[in-house]
A and B are shown apart, each in its own frame.
Chain A
Amino acid sequence: MRIEKIAKNLILKNGTIIDPHHGKTISGDVWVQDGKIAAVGDVVAPKDAETIDCSGKVITHGFCDVHVHFREPGREDKETLQTGSRSAMAGGFTRVCVMPNTNPPLDTPESINFIREKAEECPIHIHPIGAVTKSQDGNDLTEMGLMHKEGAVAFSDDGLPIQDGAMMRIALEYATLMDIPVINHAEDKCLRAEGVMHEGIVSNHLGLPGNPDLAESAMVHRDLELAEFTGARLHVPHVSSGKAVSHIREMKAKNKKVTAEVTPHHLFFNDEALTSFNTNLKVAPPIRTESDRKALIEAVKDGTIDCIATDHAPHTIEDKETTFDLASFGMIGLESCFGVVNKVLVGDEGLALKDILGMLTSKPRGIMGFDPNLFAAGKEAEITVLDPDLEWTFGKEHVHSRSINSPYYGEKLKGKIELTISRGQIAIQ
């Protein structure tokens, strides 16, 4: 992959243009001038414009991931905002929200400002999510108002569940001031205990300590009730269990301020994959049963789940090349995302490509309050060009993250990113 500056006038020709915001397919070309959308559809471009042939490809909005870990500051050996940006562009992403579980955590307006300033130098848009509690200790509310003024787009103690229900209530109440989402990693710490994988027959077979689905569903249920009580916006991250899906479905019927995301890996794998003891499959919340996976797919189909988010979580080789109990939780996911979800949801399940693209673009943008109408003239060009039908085998050569902890090596994926245009630059695979 190479990233270079785009031409003053760039024409993407002969592709199928899908505008997920309006849910329609447009015929024609896309003209980008000075990094902005000049025209979409019927294009009369200057003669000297650079042209890229997109025959057989889909031209759509740049993807947006509301849940990534870029590890800066503190663990630059795992990822930085720069290396994470390359990883994102390789996966078709032009905009991401970074979680605050850095070292030190993003728990002050100053640290939010640090990310905003550093992000200015990156080829994609990076938005910080601020911590809910100081030091993410679950006890003491952060300066949410000042952090929001500095650019925090949501609040989360991600990775660290807010165990104390009263604290979660206070956080939700306070967040109504800004009307931006609170995201709680929903796993009851006491029920999760020392579990390293889903508690079920497979964990029994393997002798690994289990983490029951109700560790998630109980806390999701609590959070949903608190969201309704406080009127705050709640975004449920990485839903993994059928039980949690049921609670979200029921509450979304009456509360429009609840949103939810699912990761590609919870849609792709089930817990039987862990019989390999592959530590790259050790994630939180854990990969669950086939029936949970099917419930997640149903939730995507009926709109209970709003968007796809990778939970891109880079770790060093040392963190993963160890015994299962000691390995860190998390996998990288930006580069493999589209190939995985397109294979499962469009290939296997028959969903429409434009709906899946919506879950990668306009839906997550809507949750975070980003402008979803990207194909209007004058908008900054955030464009992804992809081949939806290409079948390919994922390999280490496709990874641009600083870390390589992916479980997809050797997996056959469907649909591949070709080009990503963001902030006046183009990433070419």
Chain B
Amino acid sequence: MIRRNTIPFGPQHPVLPEPIQLRLVMEDEKIIEALPAVGYVHRGLEKIAEKKDYVQDVYLAERICGICSFMHSQNYCQGIESLMNVTVPDRARYLRVVWAEVHRMHSHLLILGLLADAFGFENLFMRLWQIRELVLDIMEKTTGGRVILGVCAIGGVKRDISPDQATYILKQLDEIEHQLASVLPALVDDYSVKQRLIGVGVLSKDTAYELGAVGPVARASGVAMDLRESGYAAYGELNFKMVTDQAGDCYARTMVRIKELSTSADLVRHALAKSPAGPISTPVKGTPSGEVLARIEQPRGELNFYIKGNGTRNLERFRVRTPTFANLPPLLHMLTGCQLADVPVIAICIDPCISCTER
């Protein structure tokens, strides 16, 4: 009988951008059971949010995550606007889509690069991150920030995008797609890459739904679920088409993210073309009262903010459920039965963001 061993994978591991430990119960090279151990970067942000003014919490929400920061502030603002019955100007709704989709592109390029690094294709990692720089340039040019944008506010946005900036964005998008066309075949068609990804970390459609998977992890397993379909911000007025796959393995998750790069670029182009002229914010007075569960589609999946106001400037409760938190139970399922050598690729393929998971 093979003796069982427990291997701690992380919290510090070359493939993990942030600290999380996976305790792997092994029989030889096969994983029998996996358990996550978190808490290495718990910051108590939900407690801090109760101590801060609800306007200050916009800045706090944006700092929950260092990758999809804009979407956190967007979701928070949408939640507060819902509680206070604030109608956001149409132009602001479109501008939010532009920055959110640019953020999605930078996030997807980041994880695709890290995935390439995880299976040892360092040149591809560097090329993908080089292209990601072009996305960051868009954010810097339009907001002054490369990741933390600070443009979302309760009642709208703080900055407009000028016609010159819009032209610049369109030019950058063309350049990004041109460069991706030359780089992505190395990820999509390469024999070695396929060997590392196809049939690895399989998650069936029913299991993905049952375990609460969200985002590209769920969509790659055939679960047609993308909150952008619900039409928040200006998505209901744009040509949004959800990307899904059926295989449910690491390759399918990668393909979903690659196709979503094009979807995001198209959404940005469409939003810039369709955005009406007019004000970008509306004055907000009063204090939030009542409770709401605000949701948006982040690069990693569904982001939930439960916000409870009590009629004062301090929130009664601000609860954050990030997509990585929802994707941990599916990750445990994917790891069970796999080989130890596949753990880095499977873990990276859920696009883990630990800091926002632990808050």
Question: Are A and B physically bound partners?
Answer: no
- Interface residues, chain A, with chain B CB atoms under 8 Å away: none
- Interface residues, chain B, with chain A CB atoms under 8 Å away: none
